[in-house]
Structure 1
Amino acid sequence: MPCLTYKLLAQDHPGSVAKIRQNLLAKVERTSMQAQLPRSLEELRVGSNLFHMSGSYQSNDQADECFEMWSNIASKNESLTVVKDLVKMHMNKNHDDETTRLLFAASRGDTRTISLMSDHGFDPNNHDYDHRTALMIASIKGNADVVKLLLHYNADLNITDMHGSSALLEATKNGHDDILNLLFEHEASLCMPDSQAASVLCQAVFEGDILLIKQLLKAGININAADYDKRTASHIAAAEGNMAVIRILAKRGADLSAADRWGNTVRDAAASYNSHRLIEFLDGKQELQT
């Protein structure tokens, strides 16, 4: 019954329970430090007077007294170390459990639990083993109300997970335009280097996913980001003969004169596909159409 009561208390008052654990740990650490020294001035005197200048004991009785005193101190310190490790282990496990609870709440749109935990001091930026935060999870699931609530509790918009993904990128990839706009209004960023931006955008172009391309451009991806061969999304679109994508990229300011590591331009890529219409467009002989 006490264990059940404690769990219920921890769920309803996570901040208060966290403070209790922190106070307990601080108490154990203070007690541990005190146990390393003699408890009184008399014990300190005994310890200092047990040795001659030569370093030998005055008597066997005094030696036994000294050994017993320090043995007791060592035993107490060892016990306190065990207690301290147990408290830390419980705190870490509880932190992981609470983080899982927060992320699950974000996934299912449970704003009540998120409000309760945040009001009691739980950091909304805590993340799982993949460094995914509640804001990322809500952006994946399309839970706009959760996103708004987390922003109210000052959740960091620009944290990235182990795969380099951010909340803005997740909202973009999953087609949640309302969340994309909301995050963008709060100055969120895709937080990706040019190498990653090139990989993401070029893959979308290769697959012909025009909706995703438009979403990525709206989210502020670097349209001229180049891969390891210095090829841009425009190079890929031209090589695939994708006139619709080339027009989108051109309208958004893509550099159509960029050359890859072999010196091939976007026009050269179009020529390899043998698309006369695309070559004419790139040569400026055809008006830009929307």
Structure 2
Amino acid sequence: MKKIFGLGSKQGQPPPGFVTRLQKIRGTVACDTGSIDETFTEPRTALHLACAKGHIKVVRLLLSRKCEVDVGDNEGRTPLMKAVQYQETECAFNLLEYGADPNVTDDYGNTALHYAVYNGNMVLITKLLSCGANIEAKNKKQLTPLLLAINGKSLKTVEFLVKNKADTNAVDRHERNSLILAVRSQSEDIVQFLLQQSINVFYQDVFQLTAEDYAINSGYKV
């Protein structure tokens, strides 16, 4: 993929003409839609692009000019979400230290923590939680980060979230709890781990099915 920005030759300096292209609104660095390139049609900012591409020097420049940090793109994703989505750790850390809100949701109800969990990035998960990310945030499918990790069959992430007090009794839009989802995904190691958390094995979802019912119906032996 082509790089959006080429870094300048001098250390710590932005690309040639970068600031000039941004200085379009009242003599300040503009971070609004289309301010970096008139051909952009999506409502994303220079900060979104810099975070997605991991251009930390550009990110720091924009933050130093008081760029809007929690603005959403065409899918409601903030620059922090883009940094987390593309696992640009340094960019994400700088945004959080600047004061980016980790609990903003995109058009799908996902937070930055959902994206970190989806990628299984423990460094970003840890940082987001330390900055106040809501461990029980639910997206539009009513999935908490823990339920998302279970669907992704990531035992390490599941263990970490439970250690950090994630609710194992949380349910999705069909009222399926963590154990039922683990059985449905046929994640035996996660099932065994959840059983050690004294979870209710007789719990029924909206279809009045238990985790055992799902195991029997799918021929999955636990």
Normalising by structure 1, we get a TM-score of 0.55
**2:175 matches 1:230:** yes
User: How far apart, CA to CA, are the structure 2 residues paired with 1:241 and 1:17?
Assistant: 55
Q: Deviations over 1:102-133 (max 9, x none)?
A: 11111222121112112212111122111111
Return closer, same or farther for 1:106/1:10 CA change in 2, 3 Å cut-off: closer
Q: Is the 8 A contact 2:76 2:105 kept in 1?
A: yes
**1:18 aligned residue:** 25
Q: Deviations over 1:55-107 (max 9, x none)?
A: xxxxxxxxxxxxxxxxxxxxxxxxxxxxxxxxxxxx76438969432111112
In structure 1, which of residues 94, 100, 113 is the aligned counterpart of residue 35 of structure 2? 94
Normalising by structure 2, we get a TM-score of 0.69
Q: Secondary structure at the match of 1:18?
A: coil
Q: Is the 8 A contact 1:173 1:212 kept in 2?
A: no
Return closer, same or farther for 1:12/1:183 CA change in 2, 3 Å cut-off: farther
Per the TM alignment, residue 157 of structure 1 is displaced from its structure 2 partner at its CA by 0.8
**2:199 matches 1:192:** no
**1:121 aligned residue:** 66
Q: Is the 8 A contact 2:118 2:148 kept in 1?
A: no
Q: Deviations over 1:174-228 (max 9, x none)?
A: 12111111111111125215952179837944x7554564466567654223345
In structure 2, list runs of 5 or more residues that go unmatched. 1-15
Q: Deviations over 1:154-185 (max 9, x none)?
A: 11111111111211111111121111111111
The one-letter amino acid paired with 1:94 is: S
**2:110 aligned residue:** 165
> Which shows bigger deviation, 234-243 or 139-148?
234-243
Q: Is the 8 A contact 2:34 2:44 kept in 1?
A: no
Greater gyration radius: 1
User: How far apart, CA to CA, are the structure 2 residues paired with 1:187 and 1:268?
Assistant: 37
In structure 1, which of residues 188, 201, 207 is the aligned counterpart of residue 147 of structure 2? 201
Return closer, same or farther for 1:215/1:163 CA change in 2, 3 Å cut-off: farther
Return closer, same or farther for 1:238/1:180 CA change in 2, 3 Å cut-off: closer
The one-letter amino acid paired with 2:54 is: G
